[in-house]
Amino acid sequence: MWMKDFPLTVSYDVVVVGGGAAGFTAAIQAARAGAKTALIEKNSILGGTTVVAAVDFPGLFHVQGKQVIAGIGWEAIERTVAKGGAVLPDFSIAVGERHWEHQVRVNRFVYSTVLEEMCLEAGVALRYHEMPAAVYAEGDERRLLTAGKSGLITLGFNKMVDATGDANMTELMGYPREKGDTLQPGTLVYRLNGYQLDEVDKDKLKEAYLIAHRTGDIKETDHLPGEIPLYRELISKGSSSLHITGIDGSSSMSKTHAEIEARKALMRIYTLLRSVPGCEQLYVEFFAIECGIRETWRIVGEELVDADSYISGRKWPDAICYSYYPIDIHRHDSNTTDIRPLAEGVVPTIPYGALIPQGSEHLLAAGRCISGDQVAHSAYRVQASCMAMGQAAGAAAALAVRHDVSVRHVNVEEIRQLLWEHKAIVPTMHGVKYNKEAL
């Protein structure tokens, strides 16, 4: 049976696929702008990598004490703070190259329930435990086939936002994608406990590591760099992360491989450390249920955010949000990172064209799968930037529905005005448009 012959379950103006940083902001913005909106999420919870991969420190929202990303994403942070789920750092304090000190550590439970609360308040239809399977688009008829716990479901839609992180909907709808020859590694976040740090013999730890490394029972990518491998994992109060190299993560099978390899790596750490005096009772107190994937596919867009435009802070004529983060390339052959801070005063912008797959009429992308090269992507892929892009995509999708036009024909000034009305910080050719109520 061809998918158009499946009975239509329900129709929406806007369907957002993916409930992470870009997806929840896109869905809320579209719904608040009056569009009947659904948010499809494969897991049972919102928040994406922040929650399920425990990368629970969204940023960056500020540059040298000045806020550059606000809107719906910042509202989620403020609500989380109000419920005791986060404490804001002092953004007025210059941190130099220690950019992570301006990230906001959130309690994953409080944060995820805040996102859910905001979606429900806006009237977003939350569709957990569903995965897109196929798209039918011909003339004015557009349908999305999803697979849920009860079988196949057909949803009608007018416009769609691909917030999968991997440009999965872009592929299903037949638009071109691209990715680098060598992808950045994924990360598994975990926490150890049960060891006695003052009883750990550093020499014996190093000796045990060298033996395990020679026999292949531990890998250099499994641990943080240091003179005594795995000691940093212990002195960090047991909270750490490891790199999973040679993975993709954009398909179900490649993501399966990534998750298996991540847990194998943690088992190697666990096994080695328990052989060291002082760690005999060591145990894994926590590990994220998913490994965080940094990089897979990116759309081939109407415009491309390349390294030069990002590093120079180019003011795109169709800029719809800011993005602020250093170039942050995690090396595929070690657990180290190539960090290149932006020059003082540089705040990159993201053009609307980078959210539009080439030739697209009804699909927008938001988050780390927008159109950009590998270097720029390493910076704009972070949560705060994805929140800003998601809100912009949601606004544009709602406006495209309102005016019954292609996503390529939405007026950029109208997108900016709608974003401003919903307390986003909007770049313009004449500077910055702030809504003072947002700050």
Separation CA 79–CA 425 (nearest Å):
18
| SS3 state of residue 189 | strand
- Average pLDDT of span 56-75: 96
Residue 5 has pLDDT above 80, yes or no: no
Residue given tokens 């190697």 in the structure block:
268
User: CB-hemisphere CA count at 13 Å for 130?
Assistant: 25
Query: How many angstroms separate the first and last alpha carbons of the chain?
Result: 53
Structure-token pair, residue 117: 């609360």
- Looking at residue 236, its pLDDT comes to 85
**Please, what is the Cα angle at 116 between 113 and 118, to 5 degrees?**
110
**Spatial CB neighbours of 232, under 8 Å, sequence gap ≥ 6:** 223, 224, 225, 226, 240
255, pLDDT greater than 50: yes
pLDDT value, residue 334: 74
Sign, CA dihedral 76-78-82-88, equals positive
**CATH architecture assigned to 8-180+295-421:** 3-Layer(bba) Sandwich (3.50)
Helix (H) / strand (E) element for 258: namely helix 252-273
**DSSP state letters, 35-101:** --EEEEESSSSS-THHHHT--------EETTEE---HHHHHHHHHHHHTTSB----TTS--TT-GGG
The number of helices, as runs of H, and strands, as runs of E, in the chain is 12, 20
Question: How far is the C-alpha of 228 from the C-alpha of 84, rounded, in Å?
Answer: 38
Contact 172, 299 (CB under 8 A): no
pLDDT in tens, 210-244: 999 999 999 988 988 888 999 999 998 767 888 88
For residue 188, the cross-strand partners are 242
Q: What is the pLDDT of residues 19-30, one digit of tens each?
A: 999 999 999 999
Name residue 240's beta-bridge partners.
190
Residue 433 pLDDT level (bands cut at 50, 70, 90): low
Predicted local confidence at residue 330, as pLDDT: 86
pTM summary value: 0.94
Report d(CA 341, CA 336) in Å as an integer. Answer: 16
Please give the Cα distance from 184 to 267 (Å, whole number): 22
Q: What is the spatial distance between Cα 239 and Cα 223, in angstroms, rounded to a whole number?
A: 12
The per-residue pLDDT for range 313-325, each reduced to its tens digit, is 999 999 999 999 9
Q: Which residues have a Cβ under 8 Å from the Cβ of 224 and sit 6 or more positions away?
A: 232, 233, 240, 241, 335
Half-sphere exposure of 422 (CA within 13 A, CB side): 27
Write the pLDDT tens digit of every residue in 332-382: 877 788 889 999 999 999 999 999 999 999 999 999 999 999 999 999 999
In the three-class reduction of DSSP (H, G, I as helix; E, B as strand; rest coil), residue 161 is classed as strand
pLDDT value, residue 14: 98
Q: Which amino acid is residue 372, in one-letter code?
A: G
> Taken in order 366, 368, 373, 379, is the CA torsion positive or negative?
positive
Instruction: Please choose, from the candidates 119, 104, 111, the residue with its C-alpha nearest in 3D space to the C-alpha of residue 47.
Output: 111
